[in-house]
C-alpha cells in the first residue's frame, strides 16, 4: 500500500502543472442566450427592470454597446450563431414551425463541433428552433437528426418556441415523459378531429390571444399549431425556468472534469410569458417584466453553481439575445399597458422583426473572472464571430465563413471590431459599415401592424449615422449621394449581388 501511495504521489507531482496549463487554454465556455431580450431591457443597459445577477456579470466583464445578433428573429440568429454563416445565405433560415426539418446540415461546420474536435463536451439546454428530423417527424420515436447530430453531445430542448406545439421537452431526441399509450401527433395545417382550439373555445383559455396563437390549447394557453395526445409529456409553463436551470446546473456538476461548452438558450421573455408564482407581480411591469426577473434569478443561481464547483475562474461566459424586444407578440399580457417608463429597446428605433437597430442590436457581454478587465466596449461585434473567436481561444481553426476572429475584442484586449456587418429581418438585409447604416429600398408596409413595430421598409433608400443619430431619426441618403453609392457597392459585393453592382455609378 505504501509503495502504491508513493508511486501515486510521485506521479501526481508532474501532472498538476500539466492540468493547470491545459485548463487555461481550454476554459469552460457558457453561452447564455435569451429570447427577445431587448437592448434596453436589463438594468446595466439602462432598463428599469432590476437584473442584479446579470448586471454583476456585465459590469465586471466586457459590455458591448455595438453587439449584434445576425437577425431580428430567432431561427436565423441561432443559425448564424452556431454556424458562423450569415442566415440570408440559407433560404430555410426563417422563423420555423415546430414540425420543420433541421436546417443545419449534419456535415456542416458548427461551433459545438469545433469545440468537440479539441476535446470539449458540448450541450444545448432550452430553446432549439433550428428544426428537427429530415421530413415528417414521428414524435413517438427517436427524433433525429437534431442537436445531437450537429455537434451537441447532450441536448434537452423545446423543438421551436414556447408558443408553438409540441409543448414537450425533448432530451437527446426523445420526448420526455411520453406515455406510449397516448401517442403524440403534431400538425401545422389542420386540426385533429374533436380537439378544442383557441379560436373556437375561448371558454377554455386562461390567457387570451391577440393575433395568431389560436390553434391547440395546452395548459389553458392557445398555441401555434395543432397537437393531439402526449398529454403526460406536456411541460408546465410556469416550471420551465426551474426545469432548465436544474438541467444546466446538473450538467455542470456532472461534466466538470473535462472542459465543457454549454449553450444555455433561455426561453424568456418570449411569449407566452408565464413566470413562476415566485416572480408574479415582482417587476410591476406585468408578466414580461416578471419573466425577465425570473431569467435574472436563473442566471444568479447558475453562477452560484459554477462558484460552488470552483469553476468560475476557468469559465468564459458570453451573454446575448437572439433579437430585440417586442411587447405585444400575440397574447393579451399587459406588456404594453404596464410598461411605465421602461424602454425595452433603449433609444433604438424599431424592435423585434425590424431592420432598424432595435431588431438586431442586443445586450452582448463577456465575463471571465480574473481574466477580463471590466470595461464598456464600442467595438462592432456580431454573434457569428463566436465561431472564429472561440476557435482562436482554444487553439484551432475553422473553414472560412462569415465569422471573424475577434478574440481580443471579446476578451477586452482590443477595441478594433468588425468594419462592416450585414443585418437581416424578414429575409431583407441592411448594411452597417463603420458608423453608417444603409437600408436599401424595400417597398411595403413600414409598420408591422399586429406588433406595432416599424420594420424599416421604405421605398426610399435610408442612410443613418449611428454615432450621431442612434435613434435613426435623420435619413441622410439624399444629403450624401456619393457615400450612399459607395456603401451600396460594398454591400452588394458582400451579398454577391452583381447585377445591382453594375448599376451603380461612382461619380
Ligand atoms: C411569429 C409569432 C410570434 C413569435 C414569432 C417567433 C404569430 C402571429 N406570431 O410568427 O408570436 O412566436 O413568430 O419569434 O404567430 S422568435 O423569437 O422565435 O423568432
Ligand atoms: Ca427571439
CATH code of 471's domain? 3.30.1120.10
Question: Same structural domain for residues 450 and 358?
Answer: no
Residue 424 lies inside a defined structural domain of this protein? yes
| pLDDT value for 418 | 98
Residue 43 lies inside a defined structural domain of this protein? yes
| pLDDT value for 505 | 66
C-alpha–C-alpha distance, residues 358 and 323, integer Å: 8
Question: Same structural domain for residues 258 and 379?
Answer: yes
Residue 415 lies inside a defined structural domain of this protein? no
**Which atom of ligand 1 is closest in space to residue 211's alpha carbon?**
8
Residue 446 lies inside a defined structural domain of this protein? yes
Q: Which three cell numbers stand for residue 81?
A: 450563431
Residue 217 lies inside a defined structural domain of this protein? yes
Question: Same structural domain for residues 238 and 93?
Answer: yes
| pLDDT value for 13 | 46
Number of domains, the chain: 3
Residue 192 lies inside a defined structural domain of this protein? yes
The segments of the chain whose pLDDT lies below 50 read 1-24
Question: Same structural domain for residues 257 and 147?
Answer: yes
| pLDDT value for 8 | 44
Residue 320 lies inside a defined structural domain of this protein? yes
C-alpha–C-alpha distance, residues 267 and 463, integer Å: 34
Question: Same structural domain for residues 234 and 220?
Answer: no
Q: Which of 410, 445, 461 is the last residue of a domain?
A: 410
User: Which residue has its alpha carbon closest to ligand 1 atom 10?
Assistant: 95
Question: Same structural domain for residues 306 and 399?
Answer: yes
Which ligand has an atom closest to residue 449 CA? 1
Q: Are residues 361 and 37 in contact, defined by beta-carbon separation less than 8 angstroms? A: no
* pTM score: 0.94
270 CB under 6 A from ligand 1?
Answer: yes
| pLDDT value for 500 | 78
Residue 290 lies inside a defined structural domain of this protein? yes
Q: Which of 354, 385, 410 is the last residue of a domain?
A: 410
Q: Which of 410, 429, 444 is the last residue of a domain?
A: 410
Question: Same structural domain for residues 475 and 341?
Answer: no
| pLDDT value for 6 | 46
Question: Same structural domain for residues 370 and 399?
Answer: yes
| pLDDT value for 18 | 43
Query: Ligand 1 pocket check: which of 37, 73, 167 to mutate, most ligand atoms within 8 Å of Cβ?
Result: 73
188 CB under 6 A from ligand 1?
Answer: no
Question: Same structural domain for residues 351 and 314?
Answer: yes
Q: Are residues 233 and 175 in contact, defined by beta-carbon separation less than 8 angstroms? A: yes
| pLDDT value for 498 | 74
Query: Ligand 1 pocket check: which of 78, 158, 163 to mutate, most ligand atoms within 8 Å of Cβ?
Result: 163
**Residue 218, domain extent:** 185-228
Question: Same structural domain for residues 259 and 358?
Answer: yes
Q: Are residues 152 and 190 in contact, defined by beta-carbon separation less than 8 angstroms? A: no
Q: Are residues 162 and 271 in contact, defined by beta-carbon separation less than 8 angstroms? A: yes
Question: Same structural domain for residues 70 and 194?
Answer: no
Q: Are residues 413 and 446 in contact, defined by beta-carbon separation less than 8 angstroms? A: no
What's the 323 CA to ligand 2 centre distance in angstroms? 5
| pLDDT value for 22 | 41
C-alpha–C-alpha distance, residues 107 and 117, integer Å: 14
Question: Same structural domain for residues 321 and 461?
Answer: no
| pLDDT value for 15 | 44
Amino acid at each position: 500500500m505504501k509503495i502504491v501511495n508513493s508511486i501515486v504521489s510521485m506521479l501526481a507531482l508532474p501532472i498538476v502543472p500539466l492540468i493547470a496549463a491545459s485548463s487555461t487554454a481550454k476554459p469552460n465556455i457558457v453561452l447564455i442566450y435569451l429570447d427577445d431580450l431587448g437592448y434596453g431591457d436589463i438594468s446595466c443597459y439602462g432598463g428599469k427592470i432590476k437584473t442584479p445577477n446579470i448586471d454583476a456579470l456585465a459590469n465586471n466583464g466586457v459590455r458591448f454597446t455595438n453587439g449584434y445578433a445576425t437577425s431580428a428573429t430567432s431561427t436565423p440568429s441561432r443559425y448564424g450563431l452556431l454556424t458562423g454563416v450569415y442566415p440570408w445565405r440559407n433560404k430555410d433560415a426563417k422563423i420555423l414551425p415546430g414540425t420543420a426539418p433541421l436546417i443545419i446540415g449534419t456535415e456542416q461546420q458548427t461551433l459545438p463541433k469545433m469545440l468537440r474536435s479539441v476535446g470539449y463536451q458540448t450541450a444545448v439546454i432550452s430553446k432549439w428552433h433550428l428544426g428537427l428530423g429530415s421530413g415528417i417527424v414521428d414524435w413517438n420515436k427517436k427524433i433525429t437528426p437534431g442537436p445531437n447530430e450537429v455537434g451537441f453531445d447532450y441536448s434537452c430542448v423545446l423543438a421551436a418556441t414556447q408558443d408553438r406545439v409540441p409543448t414537450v421537452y425533448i432530451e437527446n431526441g426523445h420526448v420526455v415523459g411520453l406515455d406510449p399509450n397516448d401517442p403524440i401527433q403534431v400538425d401545422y395545417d389542420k386540426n385533429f378531429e374533436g380537439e378544442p382550439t383557441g379560436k373556437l373555445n375561448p371558454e377554455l383559455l386562461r390567457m387570451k390571444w391577440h393575433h395568431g396563437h389560436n390553434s391547440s390549447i395546452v395548459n389553458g394557453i392557445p398555441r401555434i399549431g395543432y397537437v393531439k395526445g402526449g398529454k403526460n409529456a406536456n411541460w408546465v409553463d410556469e416550471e420551465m425556468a426551474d426545469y432548465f436551470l436544474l438541467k444546466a446546473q446538473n450538467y455542470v456538476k456532472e461534466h466538470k472534469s473535462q472542459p465543457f461548452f454549454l449553450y444555455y438558450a433561455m426561453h424568456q421573455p418570449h411569449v407566452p410569458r408565464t413566470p413562476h408564482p415566485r416572480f408574479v407581480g415582482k417587476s410591476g411591469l406585468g408578466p414580461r417584466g416578471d419573466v425577465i426577473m425570473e431569467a435574472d434569478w436563473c442566471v444568479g443561481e447558475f453562477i452560484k453553481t459554477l462558484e460552488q464547483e470552483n469553476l468560475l475562474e476557468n469559465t468564459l461566459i458570453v451573454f446575448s439575445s437572439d433579437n430585440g424586444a417586442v411587447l405585444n407578440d400575440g397574447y393579451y399580457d399587459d406588456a404594453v399597458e404596464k410598461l411605465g417608463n421602461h424602454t425595452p429597446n433603449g433609444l433604438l428605433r424599431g424592435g423585434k422583426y425590424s431592420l432598424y437597430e432595435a431588431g438586431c442590436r442586443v445586450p452582448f457581454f463577456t465575463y471571465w473572472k480574473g481574466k477580463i478587465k471590466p470595461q464598456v466596449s464600442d467595438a462592432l461585434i456580431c454573434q457569428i464571430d463566436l465561431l472564429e473567436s472561440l476557435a482562436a481561444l482554444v487553439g484551432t481553426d475553422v473553414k472560412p465563413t462569415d465569422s471573424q476572429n475577434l478574440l481580443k475584442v471579446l476578451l477586452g484586449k482590443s477595441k478594433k471590431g468588425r468594419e462592416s456587418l450585414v443585418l437581416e429581418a424578414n429575409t431583407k438585409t441592411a448594411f452597417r459599415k463603420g458608423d453608417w447604416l444603409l437600408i436599401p429600398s424595400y417597398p411595403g408596409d413600414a409598420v408591422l401592424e399586429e406588433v406595432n413595430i416599424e420594420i424599416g421598409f421604405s421605398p426610399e433608400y435610408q442612410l443613418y449615422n449611428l454615432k450621431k443619430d442612434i435613434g435613426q431619426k435623420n435619413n441622410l441618403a439624399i444629403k450624401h449621394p456619393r457615400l450612399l453609392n459607395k456603401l451600396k457597392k460594398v454591400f452588394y459585393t458582400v451579398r454577391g449581388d452583381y447585377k445591382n453592382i453594375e448599376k451603380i455609378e461612382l461619380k
